[in-house]
Structure 1
Amino acid sequence: MNTNRGSAVPAQGPQTSAEFIPPISAVAANSTSIVTPTSLRTRFPDIEAAVITAIIMHEFKAADLHKLDPTNRDKEVAYTFNGTTNQFEISNRAAKEYKNPFSVIVPLQRYFNVLGFHLPKSNDVPFVFYEYTAHLMELIAEFEWSAVFQYHSVFFNCRRSEMATGDYSGWGIPATDLLSKHVYAYRKAMPGKQPRTAGNMRTSSPTDVCRKYNEGKCTVTPCPWGRPHSCATCGKMGHGKHQHKD
């Protein structure tokens, strides 16, 4: 993948250089398991410990964001039967249902909150998170959501390996190669007036009765518009619709 990146949208201000953060060291309870720091579990009690661990160890993928969506928190877990293993497995259908920007933006902010709380407080990393959120919102406003989502998914996963080495600066640098591949061809159509076509345009005929006469507003004979002065209800001459009596 081409790793050259440049600004895809107008800069919002001076770009902040993110401080290098040493790779996160896992807290091992034994040789095989990882324990989530108590402070994180206390700060985010509604997020599963395994999810928090995946986030701070940078194993959390873009497709996992639904696990941080509060609207999915109380939904029943769905299961599917795997014919190969002859076992029931958890079906994360929600992972494929990022149908609108809010389904990504909301859990993404929780993801950034967990990382920001876990990292040393004297660093500029949160600023690059803000820059990425602003970048994403600008793309959403200008391009089709399905295209922006594809870009976001690849961009998100590319940052994981960088963060594992302590480099968070990539969040603040739009990836022009990915934008060209996934986004630029899908600009939203500009709203405008509906074009007049044969299907939505009524053709006037000289034989149509005078509408103004039927409203009592055309009193000149012959009709200045060359239309018959007859009733639009019964078709008889001598009175308009406003004078029609059953």
Structure 2
Amino acid sequence: MTIARHEFKPIQLYKLDPLGKEAFKAKTFEFSEDGVTQRDREPTSKDYPTQRSLFQPFGCYLQLLHHFVIAAGNTDNSLAVVYATLDYVNQLHAYAAKYEWNAVLKYHFEFHSARLAEMREGNFSGWQAADQDLVNLYLTGNTKVQNKPSTGSSASLSFAKQVCNKFQEGKCQTPCPMNRQHQCRAC
């Protein structure tokens, strides 16, 4: 019912994981002179290590959200929430392809939290547009490092640290064509 009232906290998504993911420690404790206080902890890539680990429970959340909004009978809200959240999921996939996963998670949880207040007011279109402030805060500067195709030089360097097996058997020419070390393993 918290989903229908737009009070379901994004950090509770693990509860909707159909594979029964164990709850991460959603609370942290802070010690001060006044005693111990408890606060919500932001999820990280340790809690949601893969896209599936986020998208699967988030998809369940969206299905329930769509159900409750459609059941309320407001056609405009029903269309808005379906189209806007589909746009958001597509944008989130694009972000996941381009940016570091932990940055995408931070963006998502902050973005989702901001939508809750809007939805309580009956506005479902906020899912549709990217939040440029959050993009700048979490995504800008966190572009994934692209793996460059190997030119063979890095392979040569790693082979240079290896002892040549064929040399051990007396079957390798000098210098080693694989750039491996010619030295006796037993010595």
With over 3 angstroms needed to count, the CA separation of the structure-2 counterparts of 1:184 and 1:233, relative to structure 1, is same
1:178 aligns with 2:134: yes
What letter corresponds to residue 127 of structure 1 in structure 2? Y
Greater per-residue helix proportion: 2
Using the alignment, how far apart are the partners of 1:77 and 1:175 within structure 2? 27
Tell me which of 142, 145, 148 is aligned to 1:192: 148
Deviation at 1:233, TM superposition (A): 4.1
Deviation at 1:181, TM superposition (A): 0.9
Using the alignment, how far apart are the partners of 2:108 and 2:24 within structure 1? 26
Aligned equivalent of 1:147:
103
1:137 aligns with 2:85: no
**C-alpha contact (below 8 Å) 2:14/2:23 kept by paired residues:** no
Aligned equivalent of 1:108:
58
Deviation at 1:192, TM superposition (A): 1.6
Segment drifting more, 63-72 vs 95-104? 95-104
Cα RMSD over matched residues? Answer: 3.3
After superposition, where does 1:163-242 map in structure 2 within 5 Å? Answer: 163-194=119-150, 196-197=153-154, 199-200=157-158, 232-233=170-171
What letter corresponds to residue 173 of structure 1 in structure 2? A
Using the alignment, how far apart are the partners of 1:186 and 1:77 within structure 2? 25
After superposition, where does 1:118-129 map in structure 2 within 5 Å? Answer: 118-120=68-70, 122=75, 123-124=78-79, 125-129=81-85
Aligned equivalent of 2:49:
99
**C-alpha contact (below 8 Å) 2:88/2:128 kept by paired residues:** yes
Deviation at 1:200, TM superposition (A): 3.1
Identity %: 27
Using the alignment, how far apart are the partners of 1:185 and 1:99 within structure 2? 20
TM-score scaled to structure 1, two decimals? 0.51
What letter corresponds to residue 143 of structure 1 in structure 2? Y
Using the alignment, how far apart are the partners of 2:62 and 2:24 within structure 1? 25
Using the alignment, how far apart are the partners of 1:135 and 1:177 within structure 2? 15
Report how many residues are paired: 146
Superimposed CA distance per residue, residues 57-95 of structure 1 (whole angstroms, 9 cap, x where no aligned partner): 11111111001001126x5999x9x9x79xxxxxx99x6
Name stretches of at least 5 consecutive residues in structure 1 with no aligned partner: 1-52, 86-91, 203-231, 236-246
Deviation at 1:180, TM superposition (A): 1.0
Deviation at 1:191, TM superposition (A): 2.2
With over 3 angstroms needed to count, the CA separation of the structure-2 counterparts of 1:194 and 1:111, relative to structure 1, is same
With over 3 angstroms needed to count, the CA separation of the structure-2 counterparts of 1:119 and 1:72, relative to structure 1, is same
Using the alignment, how far apart are the partners of 1:176 and 1:76 within structure 2? 31
Secondary structure of 1:140's partner? Answer: helix
Secondary structure of 2:54's partner? Answer: helix
1:56 aligns with 2:4: yes
Using the alignment, how far apart are the partners of 2:114 and 2:91 within structure 1? 16
1:68 aligns with 2:68: no
What letter corresponds to residue 104 of structure 1 in structure 2? L
With over 3 angstroms needed to count, the CA separation of the structure-2 counterparts of 1:200 and 1:117, relative to structure 1, is same
Name stretches of at least 5 consecutive residues in structure 2 with no aligned partner: 30-34, 161-169, 174-187
TM-score scaled to structure 2, two decimals? 0.66
What letter corresponds to residue 158 of structure 2 in structure 1? N
